[in-house]
Chain A
Amino acid sequence: MIEVQNLRKQYGDLVAVEDVSFTAEAGQIFGLLGPNGAGKSTTISCLCGLLPPTSGQVRILGHDVVQDGPASRQQLGVVPQELALYEDLNAADNLAYWGAAYGLSGAALRSRVSTVLEAIGLLDRAKEPVSQFSGGMKRRLNLGCAIVHEPKVLLLDEPTVGVDPQSRVRLLELVRELVDAGTCVLYTTHYMEEAEALCDRLAILDHGRIIAAGTLNELRGRVSDRDLVRLSGQFPVEAVRGALEALAEAEVLQIEEDQLRLAIQAAGSRLPELFQVVQQAGGEIRETNVARPSLESLFIELTGKELRE
């Protein structure tokens, strides 16, 4: 349903997306993970035809988004990262307008509007101006406007940013329902837990490139069984690095004057040993964080930094 081949987008000297390729199928959620500025939104913009790719090919349901733009967008729903609603209209009018923009009219449009209002839990608030809605309600309506025409492909660009937990759960339930009905979903996020809970297949983006891709299990298989330890404090870089190299089954991922990251086997039982080595090398530890292996730890292993940085 979504085919991206060797996508490249360049602005002057800045390469925002480089050689990105992936495919996403019907009834599947494809997650695009990466920190801010990794190229997720640029990829989405190329997919929905807002940005012409510098090179490469993007096809939606077999339609090239450059050569056959309107046809590729006919079965595409887009949930932008920022809210895109008419705040001075009510929820029903917003849905009716966006439904009409995708070719719905008459009884079919009215029927879809009420179905979507019910699905997003706004049926009883349908005639209220959107400006009076809470943030969570606006997020749900934002999603509703993208699915009013029953698209076969849905692009969700960080749809849960700034959403309260209750609305987030409702939004994710809605996405799952759409996927169960056969919709192909491309989901971008920098919340690893959300991606792990939701996505069938994933690609991790950094600096415009895909650094890892596969099913959730495939990616988990790439994560070693070592725990991730993050220490904060004061560290003489060279002395601490040298001391840790002597430590068995430990790998320094990143070391700076105020922060140290390393992967270490059975960290829980080896912390005293670790503290002793660091302190003997002149380091001073103020805070310690131990994490079990996850997509986040894979990202840190691959890039040496956290997703939220």
Chain B
Amino acid sequence: MKPEQPSTDIDRRAFLVGGMGLAVASFLPLSTKAAPADMQAAVKELFGDRPLQEGGVTITIPPIAENGYSVPLTIDVDSPMTPEDYVKKIAVFSPRNPIPNLVQFTLGPRTGLARVSTRIRLAGTQKILVVAEMSDGTLKSAAAETMVTVAACIIG
């Protein structure tokens, strides 16, 4: 009996190559990642050309996040939170996620304490930027780097 191995072999190869192509295509994200330039544009869109002063903002985020789908984030801003001097807005930006805006908070004198915690998704190791807008219009900022072992958004 003659083995029909060669022809099935070719079919199998074609099938495997095609399948691999499909598999690779399905892993590609729908849109490209936000580049650091997009992050700067997002900061500018929200706060204009006002200068960022480093300091006055404390970011608490794990240095290594095993799971990029849920990374705990706490932000503290130095402010007495009185009607004369308070934090108006806190915005969190990413240089690597598909959309540079991650989350924004609106505070006021009645908030009492300029501290907020939430959980965010991170699409890979990156340095997030937090900008706090004070009631007098000045902007304080801080950045914090997190190493992400399993990134959100990349895998389904």
Judge: A and B partners, yes or no: no
